[in-house]
Structure 1
Amino acid sequence: MTKLSGREIAEQAPDGWVYLLGGLQTRLRTGNFAAGLALLNAIAAAAEEMDHHPDLDLRYTYLDVRTTSHDVGRVTGRDLRLAGTISDLAARAGVTPERAGLAVLELALDTPAADRVAPFWAAVLGMEQRDHDGVNDEVRDAAGRLPAVWFQRSGSQEPRQRWHPDLWVDPSEVRPRIDAALAAGGTLVSDADAPRFWVLADPEGNRVCLCTWQDRG
């Protein structure tokens, strides 16, 4: 199954879906738990028939859905087809898929020795190491409940901010979030790598990156 680029996903995804860090997501505001459970069951039945299963997170007033092709680690045509089916089921239930406000958080640790520190963090967090091109550059929760941790190559000089959050958002949300951060006393440290990511800092200089799928493979 062919991996799709971020642009291909953005162009082909149904309305109300957003591509975030390897998965296609939406929020279905069902209004109450019973309606959410009924829609969840309908989605589960369709997923069984399609033999492709999304992650479903049912809360009292909404249902979050995320789909990815685990065998290739990215979104493929299977996910787009499943998203379309889920959107149809939601429409029959009187629910409109929403993308506003959705985000995925991961944590980055600056280190010159990812291969040395990754086993420790995998052990203490109860996560699995993921090897990319022969480098252990991240650990992930197999259940998908905890933020992933990835290891950003850096120098060993001190002082440095060892940890920073990376927040993956829809491109349409970047500007409003930057404006809100600046209004709250933050600063825009760098947009040199935009639209891949922007670096912001709080009033004490602690940094965060806003990340999108743009200009990535």
Structure 2
Amino acid sequence: MIKAENRHERIRPLRFHETAGLEDWRVVGEGACAYFRTGSFALGAQLVRVISELPSMGNDHPDVDLRREGVTVRLITLTDDYYGLSERHIDLAGQISAIARSLDITADPSAVQTVQVTVDALSGADVMPFWRALLGYRDRARSDEDLVDPGGRGAPFSFQRMDAPRPRRNRVHIDVWVPYDRAGARIAAALAAGGRLVSDADAPSNWVLADPEGNEACVGVAGPPEPRAERP
């Protein structure tokens, strides 16, 4: 059990993943996530109800996505100056997994992912106001590079600085964050579907891929490293 004075201490993904008993969970781009396969909306609603009654949760509730076949739970701290994981999420994740087990609900870590849209810009300050207004998004925790959906539903937008124009490359791409132990399989599937590996210079945390026409996308992981994917 984590001491009360340490519950709000900020942690890195590795600290979360090194904790025993959290095998249901994976840290991706938007916090620690778990997917529980319920098989029915009613059982999923029951799981959400019991989670909502946890006395230790206080005012910091998890993000929950209830669908007919399963429930996705996300744990993340959202404040004016921080967007990430805290020590208290370790206890909370363990309690949520215990609830799922008591209801005979199985977790499927391979089903977890988050998607981010990245815009390459010569000046993020010039283009972000347009996207902020168009999407109805807001700045992410003092960041001057990221916009997030205040409702927590839409994919975040990140603005990456370019040193010079790139007229022959796409300037908007998708970042797909997957569990650290699924990156190799996801990359292999994309390559088998006609993609190509553009760069693995930042592996094992990020790989740049492209479709047959050169449109780029990135696969990213957080937490324990995934072995480097084989070059095609």
TM-score by length of 2: 0.86
- Partner Cα distance (1:215, 1:172) in 2: 8
- Partner Cα distance (2:198, 2:172) in 1: 16
Two-structure CA RMSD over aligned residues (Å): 1.7
- Partner Cα distance (1:111, 1:69) in 2: 28
- Partner Cα distance (1:215, 1:42) in 2: 31
Q: Is 1:9 aligned with 2:31?
A: no
Match of 2:102 in 1: 92
Runs of 4+ aligned residues of structure 1 deviating over 6 Å after TM superposition are none
- Partner Cα distance (1:137, 1:55) in 2: 23
How big is each residue's C-alpha offset from its partner over 1:28-55, in whole Å with a ceiling of 9 and x where there is no partner?
A: 1111111111111000011x54313101
Conserved 8 A contact 2:17-2:224 = no
Q: Is 1:189 aligned with 2:194?
A: no
- Any residues of structure 2 matched to 1:50-65 within 5 Å, and which? 50-51=57-58, 52-65=60-73
Match of 2:228 in 1: none
The count of corresponding residues between Structure 1 and Structure 2 is 213
Conserved 8 A contact 1:24-1:66 = yes
- Partner Cα distance (2:217, 2:26) in 1: 21
- Partner Cα distance (1:215, 1:26) in 2: 17
Match of 1:204 in 2: 213
Match of 2:120 in 1: 110
Match of 1:163 in 2: 172
Match of 1:145 in 2: 153
Q: Is 1:83 aligned with 2:93?
A: yes
Measure how far apart 1:97 and its partner are.
2.0
5+ residue gaps in structure 2? 1-7, 226-232
Measure how far apart 1:96 and its partner are.
2.1
Measure how far apart 1:177 and its partner are.
1.2
Q: Is 1:35 aligned with 2:57?
A: no
After superposition, the Cα gap between the structure-2 partners of 1:192 and 1:158, relative to the gap in structure 1 and judged at 3 Å, is closer
TM-score by length of 1: 0.92
Measure how far apart 1:140 and its partner are.
0.7
Measure how far apart 1:144 and its partner are.
1.1
